[in-house]
Amino acid sequence: MADAPLFKSFFMAGFECATHRRRDGRRLDLLAATGHDRLAAGDYRTMAGLGLRTVRDGLRWHLIEQAPGVYDWSSALPMLRAAREADVQVIWDLFHFGWPDGLDIWSPDFVERFARFSAAAAELVVAESDGIPLFCVANEMSFLAWAGGDVAAINPCARQRGRPLKEQLVRAAVAAIDAIRAVQPSSRFLSAEPAIHIHSYSRSAAVRRAAETYRLAQFEALDMMAGRVAPELGGREDLVDIVGLNYYPRNQWLHRSSTLPLGHHGYRPFSEILQETFARYGRPIIIAETGAERSARSSWLHYVSSEVRRARAEGVPVEGICLYPVLDYPGWDDGRLCETGLLTMPDARGERSLHAEFAEELAHQQARFAQPTSRSGRG
């Protein structure tokens, strides 16, 4: 591992900051729904006290850009200043599935406006923060291309247009990174994409090839960013900086069927996924999102941490694990309470409670990662 780590802590906290519109037209704002936007100072202090001194958080484009090129930073400044006060390092998401009303995501104007917004956001982050600026310009382009471009589950609610949407998102991400580097060349960039595996029982070679083609599609957005696929989009190798993998219990499934449970003979060890990703890109990796609900929280963290240690023992430079979401939150579709976090939703006094068992497992894993890496990576 590197002598001078980029991140202030190996374990990180991720604040859910999705701002998309659902199929019914309702816009979500998870920073507001969890109370984090108004409780950021206390949330950051709590995270720092738990040893989570690096966090993922979001700047909400739809709130900030009031008109083309007109920015209102009142939703962002309290969070930036709270992070600095708590000495917490933030990886800022600039596009977490939502964009300003009236902006056509399919238009060239989308790319241009997002680049201008990204440059303006970088200027603010540089002015209000210490250290190297860190950004995730576009979270999970592959997921948005599927959910918004293929199955009309979220904005822009299209069908069978996943590939064009992915290409448009890559154009925007390329333009945003270039715009930010023009402001601050030392900025670093996280590309967060889902990590998946698909297993097939079929004896048909054609079906197995289809499953493998679908599995390999997880790399398409990053390959576009690197200029290896569709180079006309402007991708270059230097645009793939820090590779982020978002990994949840539902991220492996049988081809055209159900989720593969951990322990199933077709379940691929996460350490192998990490090794494949590093072999493909040769860049530092973080687990940019991972978590499970309710009683599965602790056991899932134990599994992911063990697999990360195994990968690190084999030379894969995994630089961090982000607990995501670190706060319980209302579900996107139905508002049900999703108990994923180290901390609960706020009570009537604006106070949160700590999930003791999850915190105990986190402390155990923090202690394990503070020890020299073993060859087995087990435990």
For the chain, 379 residues long, the average pLDDT of each consecutive 10-residue run is: 80 98 98 98 98 98 98 98 98 98 98 98 97 97 98 98 98 98 98 97 94 96 98 98 98 96 95 98 98 97 98 98 98 96 97 98 97 54
Yes or no: say if 341 and 47 are a contact pair by the CB < 8 Å rule: no
Give the per-residue pLDDT at 377: 43
Q: How many CB atoms are closer than 10 A to CB 359?
A: 14
What burial class does residue 130 get, using C-beta atoms within 10 Å of its C-beta: 0-12 exposed, 13-18 middle, 19+ buried? Answer: exposed
Question: Tokens standing for 2?
Answer: 């590197």
Return the sign of the alpha-carbon dihedral for residues 237, 175, 91, 33.
Answer: negative
pLDDT score of 3: 62
| Residue owning tokens 């006290």 | 49
Cβ-in-10-Å burial (0-12, 13-18, 19+) of 186 comes to exposed
Residue 372 has a pLDDT of 76
Phi, psi of 301 (to 5 degrees): -60, -40
* Owner of token pair 């190297």: 132
β-strands 285-290, 252-254: how paired?
A: unpaired
168: which 2 tokens? 């448009």
Residue 326: alpha-carbon gap to chain centroid: 12
Q: Rounded to an integer, what distance in angstroms lies between the CA atom of residue 322 and that of residue 254? A: 26
pLDDT at position 376: 39
Distances (CA, A) of 363 to 97, 270, 329, 359, 360: 32, 22, 23, 6, 5
